[in-house]
Structure 1
Amino acid sequence: MTENKSPEELQELVQQMRKWAYEELQLSKGLEDNLLRRFVHSCYYDIDKAKAAAELFFSIRSSSPDLFSNRDPQSAQMQKTLSIVNLARFQISQNRNLWIWQLNDPGLVQYDYIQDVKLFFLVTDAWLLDDEHLENSDIVIMDVKDITLKFLMKYNMSVARKLAKYQEDALPIRLKQIHLVNAPSFIDKIYGLMKPFLKQDITNMLHFHPPKADTLHKFLDKDDLPEDYGGTRGKMEDHMKNVMELLDRKREPLISENLWRVEKKSKSKSSNEQPSSADTTFRTLEID
């Protein structure tokens, strides 16, 4: 479908999404135009793909209360997780978004994989609630300088599978590149754990950069990068302050147990009635 849509055409697609969400998912409250617009935009205005992504987005939340509940950013547990990472997301050249995750926990003394995943969902939700800008593409940098083989002991395969599915097929962004910087020599062992869950499209986006390498600059200009990576866009610790302020501003909707969740339909079906696509998605996720 064409990349260029008038505001009126885009709003018509948003209204189609809203009607579908109400009729098929029985979801009406808390559905901001901004969120629906993101699904349409991230799927390049293909309404069927946008519905599939949104359905998965909502159903993963409903089938994973352990990852979407008890995540108050002011809680002691979440504060502990926030204390060992620096996060950033900001616009760069060519109307792109740059996402950065930087771990600061040598030896993984405090690191908790499930809490890290919960933090990912929390912060991406905050950005979805806050930012109405539609970008051309999204680029991710993961700084794994403090990752050790101890990570293998903290890894949770079931959660990793669900996270990968969410990132690949549900999160309404246009992901184009993933960079692992400061990658240790044994990163292939950790990557080997995750590769079975990743689509070929995602593995093709991955780029590994060893410590002290300048290969990241082949993909991103210095004017697009924080000082931590040889750029001019401030320090990661300052970007993290912006994240903390955002979490504080959006705390009320973020701690809601019902944010963007769908309840499974309870009405009985006859033996000849086919399950809805939403029911199928729920069953698949519950099996996982």
Structure 2
Amino acid sequence: MASKINLSSANPTEEEKQTIVEALRQKLQGIKTVKNINTDEEYLLRWLYSTEFDVETSFLRMKDYHENMVENPTWFQKESPLNRKSSFEMNAAIMIPAHDKEGRPIYISKIGNLDPDQTTFADEACIDDIWYEYILDKNPEIAKIGLCVILDLGGISWKYLKMLNYKDCKLGLRKLSCLPFKELKLHCVNNSKYTKLMLKIVQPFIPEESKKQMFFHFDNCATLYDYIDKDNLPPEYGGYNKINHKKIYEKLFDKADAITENFRLHRNVIKS
């Protein structure tokens, strides 16, 4: 059995998918550090799509992801999105109905909108989880495209900067490294007087391979247009796509029950 199928040339047949899914399922059942990992086909497919159906890479990514979940449970959302409404009201993170030039969904994170007195890095990681589940639910094939993240560094406060610490940087980057997306393109836009200091703190923790996926535009949005069409960008970045936050949140909350049930299934892991 071939463990890898190149999705760039052809999708695997249904028969091949079933064989590879079962191979991954069998490997997961042999993990000795955690148990109760969800092995439903749809869940496994998102991890397989993210690695071009490489069983070994999918296995290692899932293993690290779920071990991290057991070791650091506060970094993983398990509740309903409805319980996080106050966090959404900050408009600090949103998955907009648009994509970059290579088809990746666009996720916008506005650090400057966060209130450090009302949130933590772990809280924000949980908000990210909700949006990831929102797009991956019933659509595991999105994992093979990846994710385009616009990280807005404008308005960063000194209080936010003081939140940064070694442990949170390490945990945050560990979680990012094993998400079920083939790749994550990060576009840093806007600036503040604390931006350079923040990057100086964070960059030592970023793997060299991940740095290759980072693009620093800062206040020069013109360079962002090489990667994302203006029709898909909000006006604050020089685009024409007016974002209706209320309507997007309504669509998200309409899926609250499905997302909550998925979290129950995917995160029912315990230490062996």
CA drift at 1:161: 0.9
* 8 Å Cα contact 1:87-1:236 kept in structure 2: no
**2:88 alignment counterpart:** 82
Q: Equivalences for 1:1-288 in 2 at 5 Å? A: 1=4, 2-3=6-7, 4=10, 5-24=12-31, 27=35, 30-68=38-76, 71-75=79-83, 78-84=84-90, 85-90=92-97, 92=99, 93-103=101-111, 105=113, 110-134=118-142, 135-168=144-177, 170-211=178-219, 213-235=221-243, 237-238=245-246, 240-242=248-250, 244-245=252-253, 248-253=256-261, 256=264, 259-265=266-272
Which one-letter code corresponds to 2:141 in the other structure?
Answer: H
Gap change, CA 1:236 and 1:111, over 3 Å in 2? farther
Gap change, CA 1:29 and 1:167, over 3 Å in 2? closer
CA drift at 1:172: 0.9
TM-score normalised over the length of structure 2: 0.81
* 8 Å Cα contact 1:113-1:156 kept in structure 2: no
Q: Secondary structure at the match of 2:212?
A: helix
CA drift at 1:38: 1.6
Q: CA RMSD in A?
A: 2.9
CA drift at 1:106: 7.5
Aligned counterparts of 2:58 and 2:107: Cα–Cα separation in 1:
22
Aligned counterparts of 1:250 and 1:161: Cα–Cα separation in 2:
31
Structure 2 unaligned blocks of 5 or more = none
**1:285 alignment counterpart:** none
Q: Secondary structure at the match of 2:219?
A: coil
Gap change, CA 1:155 and 1:80, over 3 Å in 2? farther
* 8 Å Cα contact 1:89-1:98 kept in structure 2: yes
Gap change, CA 1:231 and 1:186, over 3 Å in 2? same
Aligned counterparts of 1:167 and 1:29: Cα–Cα separation in 2:
19
Cα deviation code 1:62-108 (max 9, x no counterpart): 11122236744333xx3322211241154535432222223463775
Aligned counterparts of 2:152 and 2:55: Cα–Cα separation in 1:
35
Structure 1 unaligned blocks of 5 or more = 266-288
Aligned counterparts of 1:157 and 1:243: Cα–Cα separation in 2:
36
Which one-letter code corresponds to 2:157 in the other structure?
Answer: T
TM-score normalised over the length of structure 1: 0.77
Aligned counterparts of 1:150 and 1:106: Cα–Cα separation in 2:
10
Aligned counterparts of 1:44 and 1:29: Cα–Cα separation in 2:
21
Gap change, CA 1:106 and 1:161, over 3 Å in 2? closer
CA drift at 1:50: 0.9
Aligned counterparts of 1:19 and 1:156: Cα–Cα separation in 2:
38
